[in-house]
Amino acid sequence: MRATWDIFCNVVDNYGDVGIAWRLARGLVREHGLAVRLWVDDLHAFQRIWPAIATDADQQSCEGVVVCAWHAPFATTEPAQVVIEAFGCTLPESYLTAMSVQSPPPVWINLEYLSAEPWVAEHHGLPSPHPRLSLTKYFFFPGYTPRTGGLLVESGLDERRSIFLDTQAKAFWRQFGLGTPLADELRVSLFAYENPALPALLDAWAADTHPVTCLVPEGRIVPQLAAWLAIPNLQVGEMHRRGALRLHILPFSDQDAYDRLLWACNLNFVRGEDSCVRAQWAARPLVWQAYPQADEAHWDKANALLAQYTKGLDSAAARAVSRMWRHWNGMPDADDMAACWAAWRAQQAAIELHAAAWRDRLILAGQLTDKLVDFVENKLECRVFSIP
């Protein structure tokens, strides 16, 4: 019989937590045929990335996943055989107690945030016994190397991307009132947190010697764009020109449609965790804005990914990528944006080639869902053998 899985997701902020939990749940059902329940405490955030989600349903089935509203207090529920606590979200106390009286107890995993920092490989898979209950939680770390939990990616993604680029890109652009890109035009997607570097980037694009079309999914930076354009009340669907720059505000799309935007653009500005990974799978150049953290911990994360990402690039191109990422993340020793953009433009061809090579290298890290299922199956087997 297939094992049952419960995934718990608390939406702290933004869309990354639920975005990752949803991608994982879908993958476990589609590629491993597992019975998955996904508990989410903010169905409104969920609906933004997956509009088929009903915000008022306590339980609904979507893409083969049973989606449950996570309310407090938590109703009495029989735990699944495998419990995934996404990003240390803290399981409901009553559920935890119910886990502890099961025999054998569920396999309990804490799915951690993704980082390219070297310590991740050492911590991946480590156990942590519960201080009171007879339960052990295992830390599962996604990562960029084979010794980590790997990266979320579904089978067939690259084939779908190729088919899209060959046969569907034209229609994709048409939905936004855009034609096929001109030979010298740069199409850029921009998904970002508020960023003091943004006005100078927009200035650089407006002053570019070739057309730059910037596509911005509706979100946190729209007020900054409105201020730069001097247009109060900037709305979805609007397009504005400044010099070489054409700025389009797009509706926030579902996760799969966002992938298509990443595939279609020449350069993607991404943020947080999930969009960053998707941009890497898109095999296009990217500029990553790490989720801002206290004590600038996100700079370590950005530098760690940069160190890996720029391997294999010649020194001028590696420097152009680093300057751009570092400036975009507000690191103090970074150059000014006009110079960063000029350097990036000068190295664009090399950076584009590298993005495709990097995508091929990412595969070596392994598919997170496969690795997680193997890890869990191994624990389930050990558990069976250890029952007296």
Rounded CA-CA distance 106/373 in Å is 14
Closer to ligand TRH by CB, 154 or 254: give it: 254
- How many residues bind ligand TRH (CB under 6 A)? The answer is 22
Percentage helix, strand, coil for the chain under 3-state DSSP, each rounded to 5: 45, 20, 40
Rounded CA-CA distance 88/8 in Å is 9
Closer to ligand TRH by CB, 107 or 264: give it: 264
Closer to ligand TRH by CB, 80 or 309: give it: 309
Helices and strands, number each (H, E), in the chain: 15, 14
The answer to whether residue 56 forms part of the interface with ligand TRH (CB under 6 A) is: no
User: Is 365 strand, coil or helix?
Assistant: helix
Pick the stretch among 13-21, 74-82, 206-214, 320-328 that binds ligand TRH (CB under 6 A). Answer: 13-21
The answer to whether residue 12 forms part of the interface with ligand TRH (CB under 6 A) is: yes
- Residue of 79, 78, 87 whose CA lies nearest to 41: 87
Rounded CA-CA distance 253/275 in Å is 13
**Per-residue 3-state assignment (H helix, E strand, C coil) for 171-211:** HHHHCCCCCCCCCCCEEEEECCCCCCCHHHHHHHHHCCCCC
Residues 155-214 that bind ligand TRH (CB under 6 A): 191
The answer to whether residue 300 forms part of the interface with ligand TRH (CB under 6 A) is: no
Establish whether 256 is a catalytic residue.
no
Pick the stretch among 9-17, 176-184, 205-213, 375-383 that binds ligand TRH (CB under 6 A). Answer: 9-17
Which among 85, 112, 259, 273 is annotated as catalytic?
273
The single residue among 105, 106, 149, 217 that binds ligand TRH, judged by CB under 6 A, is 217
DSSP-derived secondary structure letter, 243: T
Q: Are 212 and 245 in contact (CB under 8 A)?
A: yes
Residues 97-116 that bind ligand TRH (CB under 6 A): 113
User: CA geometry: angle at 342 spanning 340 and 343, to 5°?
Assistant: 65
Rounded CA-CA distance 245/250 in Å is 16
**Per-residue x/- mask for ligand TRH, residues 110 to 149, rule CB under 6 A?**
---x------------------------------------
Pick the stretch among 140-148, 270-278, 295-303, 362-370 that binds ligand TRH (CB under 6 A). Answer: 270-278
The answer to whether residue 272 forms part of the interface with ligand TRH (CB under 6 A) is: yes
DSSP-derived secondary structure letter, 229: H
Residues 239-268 that bind ligand TRH (CB under 6 A): 252-255, 258
For the CB of residue 13, give the shortest distance to ligand TRH in the complex, in Å.
4
C-alpha dist (Å) from residue 253 to 3, 44, 217, 261: 33, 14, 8, 9
- Residue of 99, 103, 59 whose CA lies nearest to 80: 99
The answer to whether residue 298 forms part of the interface with ligand TRH (CB under 6 A) is: no
The single residue among 140, 213, 273, 354 that binds ligand TRH, judged by CB under 6 A, is 273
The single residue among 49, 82, 107, 264 that binds ligand TRH, judged by CB under 6 A, is 49
Establish whether 17 is a catalytic residue.
yes
The single residue among 10, 195, 275, 329 that binds ligand TRH, judged by CB under 6 A, is 275
Closer to ligand TRH by CB, 236 or 239: give it: 236
C-alpha dist (Å) from residue 164 to 79, 168, 260, 265, 285: 41, 5, 8, 12, 18
Active site residues: 17, 273
Question: Which residues of the shown chain bind ligand TRH in the complex (CB under 6 A)?
Answer: 12-17, 19, 49, 113, 191, 217, 252-255, 258, 271-275, 291
